[in-house]
Chain A
């Protein structure tokens, strides 16, 4: 029996995979039950986009969470969460190309030319593709310092996604503003002075605890 119980680390990983796949299962369930409303294609588009944004923010929250709490295992969630963000973004894009436009290149061209929010979204996805394909340990080793530089682009992708979201809504941009503020805050928590301050606080707390 002992051999069946997973190591603690693996159990956390399993939890991340389950949490990230539940929205997809829920979406498929709703689609199968006809619960997606009068405009199901738009519903799939909007939901996959929203899940991609949530997972991206979750992935970006790992490092700051570690900075603030000192909790180490949270750092292991970064990669799977980021990859799932990419998966949902890719589904979002495929829904747009296939379900929405039926891969009709003429029609897509007509609309992309006039829809700047699509161009911005596509740019964000291009970044996520690059990050996903360099997410392996081998790529990390091969790229060395350049890996870190490349993966900082995730914040550019975050900014583009917020613009994409804000340009897609009609006038009330409180939703995009709230998500933008969250991503900006997560970025601020990564700035070296902020990080050092939190690290000192942790050391102080530990010393006082003794």
Chain B
């Protein structure tokens, strides 16, 4: 019902494309500025200075059918029917079926912890405050399949700047809704619900890190993590937590659901890395959904230029 609160028409359809593209380049510039400001304001002195990469190389793709590497978009059909969302079942086809009646409105997200201005936002407030833009990102699942998805969303750093993290904040902790009534998968007590994920503050502030509200110019469907999900394109898909109700700035590294479920298999960082195998399977190659042949996996999922600097000097085999 109130789902219509989320703008359903991609701005590219309203604005002439060249104007639209210019506007977005301008906004990306702004985003970079905001991130830099936020960093200056709150990054802990001890944390490595993140290289705010050239997001411009990823920019305006509206109306295009490929990402910046020339890879074709995954079809809307596949993006909305092949999902890992264990709250709605462990089979890839479960979420599309079981999440059909999931209530995504009204929806609020509580942002707090080590911040000066904790606040609870309605999703519609977030969309008003931070108008969504399109980002075409590759998504690489830890199970060695991948997609190219056009998201609509806003940079997480804009939201974080609004709540003003204190100097003590080092990490960001995210939490999914806990509602076994609506999410039958949460009755499976093999896992410790609710789903929790975390990012280091500089990762969270990176311009590539997105809070998505839409897919393919439409409001996101529940199986894609509606109404609000994280998208961190250089990390394995499970880091990109769905249906977020809580975001906390914290001092200690949070433990994610997967770290708790299998500590020796899932690390905190989970950066896409063809040279660091999952303990039980290789990450050297992947299958792009819709393609037959496998392709080699790229370091940081092809975003090394933008994000490798975040991990300078770190042993990525140790911090997997």
Contacts and interface: CB of A to CB of B under 8 A. Distances in A.
Interface of A (DSSP majority class): helix
Given A37-B92, A38-B78, A42-B145, A102 B294 contact: yes
Nearest to B279: A116
B82 A39 contact: yes
B144 to A, nearest CB: 9
Interface string A38-56: 1101100000000000000
Interface of A: 37-39, 41-42, 99-102, 104, 107, 110-117, 167-168, 170-172, 174
A40 to B, nearest CB: 9
A102 B280 contact: no
Given A38-B290, A114-B284, A171 B261 contact: yes
B82 A37 contact: yes
B116 interface: no
Contacts of A112: 282
A104 B295 CA distance: 11
B120 interface: no
Most interface-central of B78, B280, B289 (chain A CB within 10 A)? B280
Interface in B23-39: none
Given A37-B81, A115-B280, A115-B281, 5 more contacts: A37-B92, A38-B82, A107-B285, A111-B282, A171-B262
B98 interface: no
Interface of B: 77-78, 81-82, 90, 92-93, 143, 145, 188, 190-191, 258, 261-262, 265, 277-278, 280-285, 287, 289-290, 292-294
A101 B294 contact: yes
Contacts of A170: 90, 143, 262
Contacts of B282: 110-115
A171 B81 contact: no
Nearest to A112: B282
Contacts of A107: 284-285, 294
A208 B151 CA distance: 75
B176 to A, nearest CB: 17
11 contacts: A38-B81, A38-B92, A38-B290, A41-B292, A100-B287, A107-B284, A115-B277, A115-B282, A116-B280, A170-B143, A171-B191
Contacts of A42: 145, 287
A115 B281 CA distance: 4
A174 B93 CA distance: 19
A162 B248 CA distance: 41
A100 B294 contact: yes
B92 A39 contact: yes
A114 B190 CA distance: 26
Most interface-central of A111, A112, A113 (chain B CB within 10 A)? A111
A104 B220 CA distance: 37
A39 B287 contact: yes
Contacts of A174: 190
Contacts of B281: 111, 114-115, 117, 168
A102 B93 CA distance: 26
A119 to B, nearest CB: 11
Nearest to B291: A41
A133 to B, nearest CB: 30
Nearest to A172: B190
A105 B306 CA distance: 33
A167 to B, nearest CB: 5
Nearest to A110: B284
A172 B294 contact: no
A171 B294 contact: no
